[in-house]
Amino acid sequence: MSILDRQLNGELPTPGKTNLDWYLFYKIISDYREKPMLEVGVGRGGTALTMAYMTPILDVIDSWDQTWKKDDVEKILPANFIDSKSSQAEIDKTYACIHLDANKSYRGTLDDLTKYSAHCSGVICVDDYLQSMWPEVTRAVDVFVDKTNWKRIMIGNHQVFLSQERTPAVKQIAIDFPVAMVNEEIFLTYGKLPNHDLFKKFMSVNNTMLYTWHNKAYK
């Protein structure tokens, strides 16, 4: 059984995202299968596990100074562990996909974006964008986009995907999902959601991060 199947079956931790955001993340990083990926801010390892399903080349960065324990994550996550704060980690390679979920301050988020974007050839996903608990994340992303060539190519419930061009998966999401487009940026919005089996599996996982109105609309 694959890592993703075990997540969907509740045997492994799932990302700290809404079910819908998790599905969007899965779809967008699928454009980069087998390519190097990086997560900054690992937590319980849910998002990194989905990345590990996509690629055998996965680095993860965490200082392990919060409530989660590295030993627990190491037992389930096939990855190269870099024990460091995001600001201090030394990176010498390029990644096709980077997930940022470490700093929640304005300065910390902006510094992480500036640092890690220099090592990304594809897409960066920033967690907690438009999350009311972490408004400084949104402000930092918006400032970063205004000052660089990176664009917001997809905005979900509480995450944003940045790239310098729209990816195939994002183009397909714009067809399959209810979205609004503003200045070529795609926002998830109200409307009919997909009805295929894989999406149903993602939406049925017992996730404490269920996003109320999308969950109700889906049911």
Q: Using CA atoms, how far apart are residues 103 and 112, in angstroms rounded to an integer? A: 8
State the pTM of this model: 0.93
Q: Which one, of 182, 218, 186, lies nearest residue 199 by Cα?
A: 218
CA-to-CA separations, 121 to 31, 54, 98, 115, 178, in angstroms, rounded: 12, 17, 9, 13, 28
Over residues 23-40, mean pLDDT: 98
Q: Is the pLDDT of residue 216 over 70?
A: no
Helix, strand, or coil here: 96? Answer: strand
- What is the per-residue pLDDT across 98-125, written as a single tens digit (0 to 9) for each? 999 999 999 999 999 999 999 999 999 9
Residue with tokens 């079956």: 9
Contact between 154 and 177 (Cβ < 8 Å): no
pLDDT for the residue 66: 77
Q: Using CA atoms, how far apart are residues 51 and 21, in angstroms rounded to an integer? A: 14
- What is the per-residue pLDDT across 46-57, written as a single tens digit (0 to 9) for each? 999 999 999 999
pLDDT band at 35 (very low <50, low <70, confident <90, very high): very high
pLDDT for the residue 207: 62
pLDDT for the residue 214: 46
Over residues 76-93, mean pLDDT: 96
Walk me through the domains of the chain, giving residue ranges and CATH numbers. 3-218 (3.40.50.150)
